[in-house]
Amino acid sequence: MKETSFFRLQHRYAPYLFVSPFLFLFSVFGVYPIFKSLQLSLYITNGPRDHVFVGLGNFQFLLRDPDFHTAVWNTIVFALCSVFLQLPLSLGLAILLSQKWLKGRAFFRLAFFCPQLVGQAFVAVLFGVLFVPKFGLINQTLFSVFGIPDDTKWLQNPSLVMPALVLTSLWMYVGFNMIYFLAALQGVDLELYEAAKVDGANSRQQFFAVTLPGIRPVAVFVLVTATIGSFQLFELPYILLNNSAGPNKSGLTLVMYLFQTGFVTGDLGYASAVGWTLAIGVLVISLIQMRITGAWKGENA
Amino acid sequence: MPSFPYGKAAFSFVIMALISGLFVTFHRVESRKTTLTMWTFAETHYAAYRKAIPSFEAAHPGVTVKVEHVNGQAVTSRLQAAFHANLNVPDVVEVEISSAGSFFRGPLEHVGFLDLTDRVKQSGLWDKMIQARFAPYMTHGRIFGLPHDVHPVMLACRRDLLEKAGVDMNRIETWDDFIKIGRKVTIPGKQYLLELSDSGTDNIEVMLFQRGGGYFDPQGKCSFDNEIAVQTMLFYVPLVAGKDKIGSTLGANQILTQAVEQGYMLCLFAPDWRTKGLEQDIPRMSGNMALMPLPALKPGGLRTSTWGGTMLGITKKSEHPDLAWELAQHLYLDKPQLAERFRDTNILPCLREAWNQAAFQEPRPYWSNQKLGAMYAELAPQVPFQYSSPYIVTAKAKFGEALVSCVQYYNANGESGFEEYARKRLKQSANEVRNLSARNPYQ
């Protein structure tokens, strides 16, 4: 086929033409909102129409806003629980389910992963029923097994709201992260274990000297994504606590606060300031995590 | 002719995309009829309006009314977003009382609802309806919503269990009388006299309004740290905390059903709308339930309060505001319809003239043959005012925080230093609301 100049041009520009819908949509719905929100964070707004320039006033107000402080504290507590409870449990489960002597491993893997398939909204509704005082399954079980009063108000008592959230998120995410660890464990060279055994290493030493270094890239990835996910927590508490922040704002997270200020109070400017603070915070924490774990230096990462 | 260089499949996609794009761009659906769209968040309202619409359409040939049932939160968020973005909105919207204030945050001229002040005053509705009910839907002296209801509050009680315990409901006049009985019949962890929350504001709010208090004063200034609020807190907390508490709650919906059926709580605050919920959700209690006016603070005092409410607003973007106003009047002021709707919903309408009809005088077997309509109508004129603000949602949350803190303090320390703590905590919460509202440049 003889190529005309039109088709020669096509060969040159067609790739750009094909990626242009993505670029256009990404610019409109991705890049523009980012810069718009940065601009908005310098205004007090009532929706996008009415706005008054306040410079860094929104960020200054954040520093003395008790609700923002509560949201930061709750989010950090939740993130710490995710890192120090969820990930060790996921890893433990993964190690257990990678043991060849365990029968029905495939079934257990599926069973632990399943909660992830149904989504946060469903899980929140489900646990909302399970946590009901007097008649809920959790209270009835705690009463019949441990004699704990069955009118324990998990979602009405400020000191029990966070444990309830953590418990719910554990049910949902332990199995999910377990899958990553399972995949990583399968990639660890078995000869290293044999060599360690020959050198007289016990199980604990094998875990710290062989397993952990072997799965470090995946562990860093899970650590960073779990932390970012924790800082983005919204649907779970929002639905579980009946569209509220819970008693004494005990379930208020940063994203929930962002939503409330932006879409309940109507101040998109202040919500943008909260959003940018959150984004910068998550970025800094992720960088620290990567630095601590050595992922930055490219050591196996 | 050269072929398309990326194959026939890609060529077909390009052609289809072009055709569908052109169709969507240039195709216009012409509407030959006038259509009024209405959003309501309450299922009971939706069912009632569907019944009422045919007569309106018959009286207005060529007009179609489309009533849509939209989730309450979605009404607020979608409507606010649409107002802000200047998008299409329904002509008529019902908004729940606790979110109505959030529509009044910006400059008065940017409120998305039509100013109904002149229409209300000229049509005489201001005098025909309970004026207190306009207050939550007003800002800067202008009316933006027509009140749907009065929502006086009584106590709904398990008459059978109270009688079994030797309690004569008719002899209860004051809260002191009531609390004395509460101390007698309450069995911690098993049975409480009254449904009262130690973390939510719905119940304490009823008592706050009964005392003449509120979250905001008539000028829209935060007022829930004034003496009335402090006294309400001092009165309420010992009812839900400490060893002598007489109130508790387990939850709503099915949980409430079980709690009432099993006698976990013997009485609960019952605004008119809630009585229908109880009838539908706990039909087995028919004949065992009875209503009584709220106990007064002192003999001869106010025997009611208010809980909940709905306003009807006409959006500024409506192309048919006069027709929408006619629809509003048809739905809210047509007496025979209001009577029928009362039978369906138990909700007392705001129009005083409607209360004389037979439907409001009928004995109700569920409520031990009490005349539910007449009882609520008798209390309706005394329903206290409640004032709103764009910060009403925040104020409720902050008042709730103060309540939770006071309950925690009382559980730990009892009466010792409680009054001072409650004052301080309420002031702290109210100041947080003031700090937030002080940032609003549109006040």
Instruction: Tell me which of A4, A10, A139, A265 to substitute to probe the interface with B (most B C-beta atoms closer than 10 Å).
Output: A265
pLDDT digits 0-9 by tens, A242-271: 888 899 899 999 999 999 888 888 888 999
Give pLDDT, residue B289: 97
Same domain, residue pair A102 and A21: no
Contact B261, B284 (CB under 8 A): yes
Q: ipTM of the predicted structure?
A: 0.79
Nearest to B234 by CA among B421, B433, B431: B421
What does the alpha-carbon distance between residue B58 and residue B61 come to, in Å, rounded to a whole number? 6
State both tokens at B112. Answer: 């998305």
State both tokens at B247. Answer: 């109130």
pLDDT at A5 over 80: no
A12 chain-B contacts, CB cut-off 8 A: none
DSSP E strands in B224-314: the ranges are 247-248, 265-271, 289-293, 310-314
Give pLDDT, residue A300: 47
Torsion of CA A72, A75, A81, A86, to 10 degrees: -150
**Domain segments of chain B as ranges:** 34-147+308-380, 153-306+385-438
**Percentage of residues of chain B with pLDDT beyond 90:** 77
pLDDT digits 0-9 by tens, B262-314: 999 999 999 999 999 999 999 999 999 999 999 999 999 999 999 999 999 99
B34-147+308-380 matches B153-306+385-438 in fold: yes
What does the alpha-carbon distance between residue B110 and residue B271 come to, in Å, rounded to a whole number? 34
- Calculate the average pLDDT of chain A: 89
Give the pLDDT mean for A86-94.
94
Phi/psi of residue B107, nearest 5 degrees:
-65, 150
Residue A17 maps to a domain? yes
Contact B216, B222 (CB under 8 A): yes
Q: Identify the residue whose tokens are 């004995």.
A: B363
Q: Which residue of B has its CA nearest to A252?
A: B397
Q: Is B391 on the interface with A (CB under 8 A)?
A: yes
Chain B residues 84-123 within an 8 A CB cutoff of chain A: 84-86, 102, 105-107, 110
Q: Where are the alpha helices (DSSP H) in B60-170?
A: 72-85, 97-100, 117-122, 125-128, 159-164
Res. A297 pLDDT band, cuts 50 70 90: low
Q: Is B135 on the interface with A (CB under 8 A)?
A: no
Query: How far is A240 from chain B, CA to nearest CA, in Å?
Result: 13
Give pLDDT, residue A39: 94
Q: Which residue of B has its CA nearest to A8?
A: B5
Taking 50 as the pLDDT cut, the residues of chain B under it are none
The architecture that CATH gives domain B153-306+385-438 is 3-Layer(aba) Sandwich (3.40)
Q: Is B251 on the interface with A (CB under 8 A)?
A: yes
> Which candidate from A50, A266, A270 shows the least CB-CB separation from B80?
A266
Q: Cβ contacts of residue B66 below 8 Å, gap of 6+? A: B35, B36, B37, B38
In the 8-state DSSP scheme, what is residue B306? B
Same domain, residue pair A250 and A127: yes
Tell me the three state secondary structure of residue A90: helix
Residue range(s) defining the domain that contains residue A22:
1-28
Superfamily, domain B34-147+308-380: Periplasmic binding protein-like II (3.40.190.10)
Nearest to B292 by CA among B178, B186, B185: B178
Contact B46, B67 (CB under 8 A): yes
Q: Cβ contacts of residue B83 below 8 Å, gap of 6+? A: A47, B89, B103, B112, B315
What does the alpha-carbon distance between residue A176 and residue A112 come to, in Å, rounded to a whole number? 8
**Percentage of residues of chain A with pLDDT beyond 90:** 63
Same domain, residue pair A68 and A187: yes
Give the pLDDT mean for A217-223.
91
Residue A49 maps to a domain? no
Give pLDDT, residue B343: 94
Pairing of strands B192-195, B247-248: parallel
Taking CB atoms and an 8 Å cut-off, how many pairs form between chains A and B? Answer: 105
Tell me the three state secondary structure of residue A89: helix
CATH number at residue A83: 1.10.3720.10
Give pLDDT, residue A292: 84
The H or E element that residue B278 is part of is: helix B272-281
Q: Report CA A239 to chain centroid distance, whole Å.
A: 16
Same domain, residue pair A115 and A20: no
Taking residue B303's Cβ as centre, other Cβ atoms within 10 Å add up to 21
Q: Identify the residue whose tokens are 């996910």.
A: A229
Q: Which residue of A has its CA nearest to B201?
A: A247
Residue A186 maps to a domain? yes
Res. A301 pLDDT band, cuts 50 70 90: very low
State both tokens at B320. Answer: 């048919």
In the 8-state DSSP scheme, what is residue B424? H
State both tokens at A70. Answer: 């509560």
> Which candidate from B73, B264, B400 shows the least CB-CB separation from A243?
B73
Same domain, residue pair A222 and A117: yes
Same domain, residue pair A188 and A137: yes
B251 chain-A contacts, CB cut-off 8 A: 132-133
Give pLDDT, residue B31: 56
State both tokens at A238. Answer: 């929002």
Contact A222, A181 (CB under 8 A): yes
User: Is B80 in Cβ contact with A151 (below 8 Å)?
Assistant: no
pLDDT at A13 over 50: yes
Contact B439, A61 (CB under 8 A): yes
Same domain, residue pair A22 and A102: no
pLDDT at A119 over 90: no
- Helix, strand, coil percentages for chain A (3-state, nearest 5): 75, 5, 25
Same domain, residue pair A17 and A155: no
Same domain, residue pair A165 and A85: yes
pLDDT digits 0-9 by tens, A146-182: 888 888 889 989 999 999 999 999 999 999 999 999 9
Same domain, residue pair A154 and A221: yes
State both tokens at B67. Answer: 């009533």
**Total domain count, chain A:** 2
Q: Cβ contacts of residue B167 below 8 Å, gap of 6+? A: B181, B185
Torsion of CA B89, B91, B94, B96, to 10 degrees: 40
Nearest to A259 by CA among B190, B58, B138, B76: B76
Tell me the three state secondary structure of residue B146: strand
Q: Identify the residue whose tokens are 């409430």.
A: B256
What does the alpha-carbon distance between residue A106 and residue A179 come to, in Å, rounded to a whole number? 11
